[in-house]
A and B are shown apart, each in its own frame.
Chain A
Amino acid sequence: MNSLKRLSGFLWILLGVAVVYLMARQAGTEIAAATKANKAVLDTKMFWYIIIPIFTPIMLGLCLFGWYAWKGEYDQIARDSEHLV
Protein backbone atom coordinates (compact mmCIF):
# COMPACT_ATOMS: atom_id res chain seq x y z
CA MET A 1 0.00 0.00 0.00
CA ASN A 2 2.81 2.40 0.87
CA SER A 3 4.48 1.98 -2.53
CA LEU A 4 1.14 2.64 -4.19
CA LYS A 5 0.77 5.82 -2.10
CA ARG A 6 4.26 6.94 -3.12
CA LEU A 7 3.73 6.19 -6.81
CA SER A 8 0.38 7.97 -6.81
CA GLY A 9 2.17 11.08 -5.49
CA PHE A 10 3.64 11.55 -8.96
CA LEU A 11 0.12 11.36 -10.41
CA TRP A 12 -1.18 14.13 -8.08
CA ILE A 13 1.71 16.40 -9.03
CA LEU A 14 0.97 15.80 -12.71
CA LEU A 15 -2.74 16.35 -12.17
CA GLY A 16 -2.15 19.69 -10.40
CA VAL A 17 0.11 20.95 -13.19
CA ALA A 18 -2.22 19.66 -15.92
CA VAL A 19 -5.28 21.37 -14.43
CA VAL A 20 -3.48 24.75 -14.25
CA TYR A 21 -2.25 24.37 -17.83
CA LEU A 22 -5.66 23.29 -19.16
CA MET A 23 -7.43 26.13 -17.37
CA ALA A 24 -5.03 28.71 -18.83
CA ARG A 25 -5.33 27.23 -22.32
CA GLN A 26 -9.12 27.00 -22.21
CA ALA A 27 -9.38 30.57 -20.88
CA GLY A 28 -7.18 31.85 -23.73
CA THR A 29 -9.20 29.98 -26.36
CA GLU A 30 -12.60 31.04 -25.01
CA ILE A 31 -11.69 34.70 -24.45
CA ALA A 32 -10.17 34.94 -27.94
CA ALA A 33 -13.25 33.32 -29.50
CA ALA A 34 -15.63 35.58 -27.57
CA THR A 35 -13.64 38.70 -28.51
CA LYS A 36 -13.55 37.68 -32.18
CA ALA A 37 -17.29 37.02 -32.27
CA ASN A 38 -17.93 40.07 -30.04
CA LYS A 39 -20.31 37.91 -28.02
CA ALA A 40 -20.45 37.52 -24.21
CA VAL A 41 -16.90 38.89 -23.83
CA LEU A 42 -17.50 40.18 -20.29
CA ASP A 43 -19.18 36.93 -19.14
CA THR A 44 -16.35 34.82 -20.51
CA LYS A 45 -13.66 37.00 -18.96
CA MET A 46 -15.50 37.19 -15.64
CA PHE A 47 -15.78 33.40 -15.43
CA TRP A 48 -12.11 32.79 -16.06
CA TYR A 49 -10.95 35.74 -13.93
CA ILE A 50 -12.78 34.10 -11.04
CA ILE A 51 -11.77 30.49 -11.71
CA ILE A 52 -8.04 30.80 -12.46
CA PRO A 53 -6.90 32.83 -9.40
CA ILE A 54 -8.96 30.57 -7.12
CA PHE A 55 -7.98 27.16 -8.43
CA THR A 56 -4.31 27.81 -9.22
CA PRO A 57 -3.16 28.00 -5.55
CA ILE A 58 -5.35 25.00 -4.70
CA MET A 59 -3.71 23.01 -7.49
CA LEU A 60 -0.32 24.02 -6.12
CA GLY A 61 -1.56 22.54 -2.84
CA LEU A 62 -2.37 19.31 -4.71
CA CYS A 63 1.17 19.29 -6.12
CA LEU A 64 2.54 19.73 -2.60
CA PHE A 65 0.32 16.89 -1.39
CA GLY A 66 1.69 14.75 -4.24
CA TRP A 67 5.24 15.71 -3.31
CA TYR A 68 4.69 14.65 0.31
CA ALA A 69 3.12 11.39 -0.85
CA TRP A 70 6.03 10.77 -3.25
CA LYS A 71 8.50 11.34 -0.39
CA GLY A 72 6.65 8.82 1.81
CA GLU A 73 5.36 11.40 4.28
CA TYR A 74 1.96 9.67 4.32
CA ASP A 75 3.32 6.15 4.85
CA GLN A 76 2.40 6.48 8.51
CA ILE A 77 -0.66 8.65 9.12
CA ALA A 78 -0.59 10.06 12.67
CA ARG A 79 -3.03 7.89 14.62
CA ASP A 80 -3.35 10.50 17.34
CA SER A 81 -3.50 14.26 17.03
CA GLU A 82 -0.90 14.46 19.84
CA HIS A 83 1.70 13.42 17.27
CA LEU A 84 0.97 16.27 14.93
CA VAL A 85 2.54 19.34 16.51
Chain B
Amino acid sequence: MNENTDRLPRDCVEISGQVEFHVRAGAEFADTFPGSTFTYDQHSLEAPACSLVTVVFENRDEVRHQWMVHGLPRYLYPGGMFHIEANGGETVEGSFIVPSDRQSYLVHCDLTQHMEKGMKAQLLVAGGSGDLWSVPGVSGDFYPAEYPAGALAGWIPVILLVALLGASILLRRN
Protein backbone atom coordinates (compact mmCIF):
# COMPACT_ATOMS: atom_id res chain seq x y z
CA MET B 1 0.00 0.00 0.00
CA ASN B 2 2.94 2.34 0.77
CA GLU B 3 0.99 4.15 3.46
CA ASN B 4 2.67 7.30 4.78
CA THR B 5 1.21 9.47 7.51
CA ASP B 6 4.32 11.19 8.88
CA ARG B 7 7.26 11.40 6.43
CA LEU B 8 7.13 14.73 4.64
CA PRO B 9 7.92 15.26 0.96
CA ARG B 10 11.17 17.28 0.63
CA ASP B 11 9.30 20.32 -0.61
CA CYS B 12 6.96 20.44 2.39
CA VAL B 13 7.77 21.93 5.80
CA GLU B 14 4.67 20.59 7.48
CA ILE B 15 1.41 18.78 6.82
CA SER B 16 -0.82 21.58 5.62
CA GLY B 17 -4.08 19.88 6.51
CA GLN B 18 -6.12 16.73 6.07
CA VAL B 19 -8.60 15.66 3.44
CA GLU B 20 -10.62 12.47 3.37
CA PHE B 21 -12.42 10.84 0.48
CA HIS B 22 -14.87 7.99 0.65
CA VAL B 23 -14.54 6.42 -2.79
CA ARG B 24 -16.90 3.68 -3.88
CA ALA B 25 -16.04 1.40 -6.77
CA GLY B 26 -17.92 -1.13 -8.86
CA ALA B 27 -19.84 -2.04 -11.96
CA GLU B 28 -22.98 -0.32 -10.63
CA PHE B 29 -21.41 3.14 -11.06
CA ALA B 30 -20.60 2.44 -14.70
CA ASP B 31 -24.25 2.73 -15.76
CA THR B 32 -23.86 6.52 -15.79
CA PHE B 33 -21.15 6.28 -18.45
CA PRO B 34 -22.25 4.30 -21.53
CA GLY B 35 -19.47 2.08 -22.88
CA SER B 36 -17.78 1.57 -19.52
CA THR B 37 -17.86 -1.53 -17.30
CA PHE B 38 -16.28 -0.58 -13.96
CA THR B 39 -15.71 2.82 -12.43
CA TYR B 40 -15.51 4.90 -9.24
CA ASP B 41 -18.21 7.18 -7.89
CA GLN B 42 -15.72 10.09 -7.79
CA HIS B 43 -13.40 10.90 -10.66
CA SER B 44 -11.74 14.19 -9.82
CA LEU B 45 -10.46 14.63 -6.28
CA GLU B 46 -8.75 17.78 -5.01
CA ALA B 47 -6.16 18.03 -2.28
CA PRO B 48 -4.16 21.05 -1.05
CA ALA B 49 -0.37 21.03 -1.37
CA CYS B 50 1.39 19.01 1.38
CA SER B 51 -1.87 17.65 2.74
CA LEU B 52 -2.48 14.27 4.33
CA VAL B 53 -4.93 12.47 2.07
CA THR B 54 -7.01 9.64 3.49
CA VAL B 55 -8.97 7.41 1.15
CA VAL B 56 -11.68 5.08 2.39
CA PHE B 57 -12.08 2.71 -0.54
CA GLU B 58 -15.32 0.75 -0.66
CA ASN B 59 -15.45 -2.03 -3.22
CA ARG B 60 -19.08 -2.79 -4.03
CA ASP B 61 -18.30 -5.58 -6.52
CA GLU B 62 -17.48 -9.24 -5.84
CA VAL B 63 -14.10 -8.94 -7.60
CA ARG B 64 -10.85 -7.19 -6.75
CA HIS B 65 -10.47 -3.47 -7.39
CA GLN B 66 -7.71 -0.98 -6.75
CA TRP B 67 -7.39 2.72 -6.10
CA MET B 68 -3.85 3.33 -7.22
CA VAL B 69 -2.04 6.69 -7.52
CA HIS B 70 1.06 7.00 -9.69
CA GLY B 71 3.80 9.62 -9.98
CA LEU B 72 4.42 10.30 -6.28
CA PRO B 73 8.03 10.89 -5.09
CA ARG B 74 9.87 7.58 -5.23
CA TYR B 75 11.98 8.37 -2.16
CA LEU B 76 8.77 8.15 -0.12
CA TYR B 77 6.68 5.74 -2.15
CA PRO B 78 8.35 2.69 -3.76
CA GLY B 79 7.54 2.71 -7.47
CA GLY B 80 6.09 6.21 -7.03
CA MET B 81 2.86 4.53 -6.03
CA PHE B 82 0.28 4.63 -3.26
CA HIS B 83 -2.22 1.87 -3.66
CA ILE B 84 -5.26 0.43 -1.99
CA GLU B 85 -6.45 -2.99 -3.07
CA ALA B 86 -9.79 -4.29 -1.87
CA ASN B 87 -11.27 -7.72 -2.40
CA GLY B 88 -14.90 -7.94 -3.42
CA GLY B 89 -17.15 -6.46 -0.72
CA GLU B 90 -14.25 -5.05 1.31
CA THR B 91 -13.63 -1.51 2.50
CA VAL B 92 -9.96 -0.59 2.94
CA GLU B 93 -8.55 2.69 4.19
CA GLY B 94 -5.16 4.28 3.67
CA SER B 95 -3.37 7.63 3.92
CA PHE B 96 -0.49 9.38 2.21
CA ILE B 97 1.06 12.84 2.07
CA VAL B 98 1.13 14.68 -1.24
CA PRO B 99 3.95 17.02 -2.36
CA SER B 100 3.48 20.75 -2.94
CA ASP B 101 3.62 20.92 -6.79
CA ARG B 102 0.57 21.74 -8.87
CA GLN B 103 0.11 18.30 -10.31
CA SER B 104 -2.64 16.05 -11.69
CA TYR B 105 -1.99 12.49 -10.57
CA LEU B 106 -3.32 9.39 -12.32
CA VAL B 107 -5.66 7.28 -10.20
CA HIS B 108 -6.72 3.93 -11.61
CA CYS B 109 -7.36 0.23 -11.11
CA ASP B 110 -4.61 -1.84 -12.71
CA LEU B 111 -6.48 -5.09 -13.21
CA THR B 112 -6.40 -5.80 -16.93
CA GLN B 113 -8.86 -3.58 -18.86
CA HIS B 114 -10.32 -1.96 -15.72
CA MET B 115 -8.83 1.47 -16.45
CA GLU B 116 -9.58 1.08 -20.15
CA LYS B 117 -13.20 0.27 -19.32
CA GLY B 118 -13.77 3.24 -17.00
CA MET B 119 -11.92 2.78 -13.71
CA LYS B 120 -9.87 5.92 -13.95
CA ALA B 121 -9.80 9.16 -11.95
CA GLN B 122 -7.47 12.06 -11.17
CA LEU B 123 -6.11 13.59 -8.00
CA LEU B 124 -5.54 17.31 -8.42
CA VAL B 125 -2.97 18.59 -5.95
CA ALA B 126 -2.84 22.37 -5.45
CA GLY B 127 -5.37 22.78 -8.25
CA GLY B 128 -3.70 20.26 -10.56
CA SER B 129 -1.94 20.69 -13.89
CA GLY B 130 -4.95 20.11 -16.14
CA ASP B 131 -7.26 17.18 -16.76
CA LEU B 132 -5.91 13.76 -17.75
CA TRP B 133 -7.35 11.98 -20.79
CA SER B 134 -10.22 9.49 -20.61
CA VAL B 135 -11.48 10.30 -17.12
CA PRO B 136 -15.19 9.36 -17.10
CA GLY B 137 -17.38 12.44 -16.79
CA VAL B 138 -14.32 14.73 -16.90
CA SER B 139 -12.39 14.39 -20.14
CA GLY B 140 -12.55 12.78 -23.57
CA ASP B 141 -10.70 9.83 -25.07
CA PHE B 142 -7.52 10.41 -27.04
CA TYR B 143 -8.69 7.68 -29.43
CA PRO B 144 -12.48 7.93 -29.21
CA ALA B 145 -14.47 4.81 -30.03
CA GLU B 146 -16.18 4.82 -33.41
CA TYR B 147 -19.93 4.40 -33.54
CA PRO B 148 -22.25 4.17 -36.54
CA ALA B 149 -23.80 7.46 -37.61
CA GLY B 150 -27.17 5.74 -37.35
CA ALA B 151 -30.33 6.87 -39.17
CA LEU B 152 -28.68 10.10 -40.31
CA ALA B 153 -26.51 8.16 -42.76
CA GLY B 154 -29.61 7.14 -44.76
CA TRP B 155 -30.59 10.80 -45.20
CA ILE B 156 -27.27 11.86 -46.76
CA PRO B 157 -28.45 11.36 -50.41
CA VAL B 158 -31.64 13.34 -49.68
CA ILE B 159 -29.63 16.16 -48.07
CA LEU B 160 -27.30 16.22 -51.08
CA LEU B 161 -30.26 16.33 -53.47
CA VAL B 162 -31.86 19.23 -51.61
CA ALA B 163 -28.54 21.08 -51.55
CA LEU B 164 -28.12 20.62 -55.32
CA LEU B 165 -31.65 21.77 -56.01
CA GLY B 166 -31.16 24.82 -53.82
CA ALA B 167 -27.88 25.63 -55.54
CA SER B 168 -29.39 25.32 -59.02
CA ILE B 169 -32.34 27.61 -58.10
CA LEU B 170 -29.94 30.21 -56.71
CA LEU B 171 -27.75 30.02 -59.84
CA ARG B 172 -30.79 30.49 -62.11
CA ARG B 173 -31.94 33.57 -60.21
CA ASN B 174 -28.54 35.13 -60.68
Interaction A to B: no
Chain A positions near chain B (C-beta within 8 angstroms):
none
Chain B positions near chain A (C-beta within 8 angstroms):
none
